[in-house]
Structure 1
Amino acid sequence: MTVHNLYLFDRDGGCLHYAEWQRKKQAGISKEEEFKLMYGMLFSMRSFVAKMSPVDMKEGFLAFQTTKYKLHYYETPTGLKVVMNTDLGVGNIRDVLHHIYSNIYVEYVVKNPLCSLNEPIKSELFCSKLDSFIRGLPFFSARAG
């Protein structure tokens, strides 16, 4: 099992942070275009799920999967969106995404007076804490095939 990549978006669709670990295939477009495409897909997916669900969805859109990967989604009350792509063997990781938000983003970005909210994250401490956390996950594998 492995983690492919992670996106953090603000409420307006700006990509605050992007990181990748085991991404085998690139999109073939600029990162800015990739971020816009990903955010647009998330916006559409959330809307689709909210409108088409046959039952009340108190948590809304959480994940979707293809035959090759699984996209996990977590949105905070303030509109920050955490998106992680993993392989198919990874189950529900809502708690992992919440941990990234509450214990890494809040601690090393929100509480950091040198970080501007709604601007791309430039904090090396945030990046290193996030990377260490991801690499320490039980489903992270540096040797994923």
Structure 2
Amino acid sequence: MTLHSFYIFDRHCRCVYSREYTQGSDGGSTNRSNESDTAKLMFGMLYSLKNIASKLGDKEARNNLKSLSTGKFRLHLFETATGLRFVIVSDPAIDNLQSVLWELYSNYYVRNVAQNALSPVDFACDELLANPKFVSETDRFLSSLPVFR
């Protein structure tokens, strides 16, 4: 399996959704590591590197952080205009998942969360994204990808 986890951070720097994938019988966990140091450190690292990347480029050219690779993993980042950040953690051999992140946002998040009248517009401090339809559809979509295996 090459996809390890999927996170959504809101515009207030909080992890509102986390999904970890394991090879065990349970398939992983949802929203168990939202307040973990891992999620907080990952967001802090991505935020800092995004600021560094934007300052390294000239004023006219937009320099965006889309991916970060280490020897053990690769982070794929997609940021929306409203400040949501979608992050997938994968093996370093996976090259580019921008189209997957766009699909997760535009087809699954917008349809199941943003257009849902019962879903909050802005998540409260202790509120998590736990829409069962969103969880099941994103799981089905990610597990159907060739890079999931």
Match of 2:111 in 1: 107
Greater RCO, CA 8 A, separation 6+:
1
Moved over 6 A (4+): none
Alpha-carbon offset, residue 31 of structure 1: 4.3
What is the distance in 2 between the residues matched to 1:16 and 1:31?
A: 7
Distance change (3 Å), C-alpha of 1:21 and 1:2: same
TM-score by length of 1: 0.85
SS of structure 1 residue aligned to 2:78: strand
- The yes-or-no answer on 1:65 pairing with 2:73 is no
Match of 1:7 in 2: 7
SS of structure 2 residue aligned to 1:8: strand
Unpaired runs of 5+ residues, structure 2, are: 24-32
Q: Please, which of 47, 50, 54 is the counterpart of residue 46 of structure 1?
A: 50
SS of structure 2 residue aligned to 1:73: strand
Match of 2:143 in 1: 135
Alpha-carbon offset, residue 56 of structure 1: 5.8
SS of structure 1 residue aligned to 2:64: coil
Match of 1:86 in 2: 90
TM-score by length of 2: 0.82
The C-alpha deviation readout for 1:61-87, integer Å capped at 9, x for no partner, is 000100011110000111110010100
What is the distance in 2 between the residues matched to 1:58 and 1:52?
A: 10
CA contact (8 A) 1:2 1:22 kept: no
What is the distance in 2 between the residues matched to 1:139 and 1:11?
A: 29
2:97 maps to amino acid: I
Aligned alpha-carbon RMSD (Å): 2.0
Percent identical pairs in the alignment equals 36
